[in-house]
Amino acid sequence: MQTSIVIAGFGGQGVLFAGQLLAHAALDARKHVTWIPSYGPEMRGGTAHCTVIISDRPVGSPLARHPEIVLAMNQPSAVKYAPLIGLGGLLVVNTSLAEIPATRPDVRLIPVAANEVAEAAGDLRLANVVLLGALLATRPILPAPVVEKALERYLPERHRHLLDANRAAFRAGYASQDEQTRLAA
């Protein structure tokens, strides 16, 4: 099985970290993985996205023209990447910063008020981790404990004081998807 994921938003929203976290967790789960970052020259405040491909077999190409999953952290990202999702794909949208775009009937929409969930969990800056939790509750590409363990192992030293807040945000995002939502995936 191979899954391609695009995570997109403004620089400074933790887009690249969310992708790195997934990539590290996938490696820890003994999966094949690629992580390709892309960001504008202005970095913070500019556009940023990354592509993560997780597979049981070696990955033939790190590019994903029609990703199975898109995590859109803001409106420009939702507008740009939602139309690219492959058949039967999944769109996870941060409805705190984006209106829900019109989607095709073959694309499943997961709206998450990620900023509000992150703030309630302890830190508004962790909306990226909230969205990862919601994604994995809906489509269990990797087991949640593997991602939490990756948080412990790979959170940069300068952010170690946010480890508990990251765990809480991830769990809150996961919990934001009720049982029925998880079963419908």
41: pLDDT confidence band, cut at 50, 70 and 90? low
Residue 43 Rama label (left phi>0; alpha psi -120 to 50; beta): left
CA distance 87 to 70: 12
Pick among 3.40.220.10, 3.40.920.10, 3.30.2350.10, 3.20.20.140: CATH of 2-184: 3.40.920.10
Write the pLDDT tens digit of every residue in 109-131: 999 999 999 999 889 999 999 99
Residue 182 has pLDDT above 50, yes or no: no
Contact 13, 44 (CB under 8 A): no
Contact 92, 69 (CB under 8 A): yes
CA distance 38 to 51: 8
Write the pLDDT tens digit of every residue in 84-107: 999 999 999 999 999 887 778 999
> 90 φ, ψ to 5°?
-135, 135
**Count of C-beta atoms within a 10 Å radius of residue 104:** 13
**Tokens encoding 120:** 């309630």
Residue 12 has pLDDT above 90, yes or no: no
CA distance 131 to 145: 16
Q: Which residues is 37 bridged to in the sheet?
A: 50
3-state secondary structure of 133: helix
Write down the domain spans for the chain: 2-184
- Between 25 and 103, the higher pLDDT residue: 25
Contact 160, 30 (CB under 8 A): no
Contact 90, 5 (CB under 8 A): no
Under 8 Å CB-to-CB from 61, ≥6 apart: which residues?
A: none
Residue 88 Rama label (left phi>0; alpha psi -120 to 50; beta): left
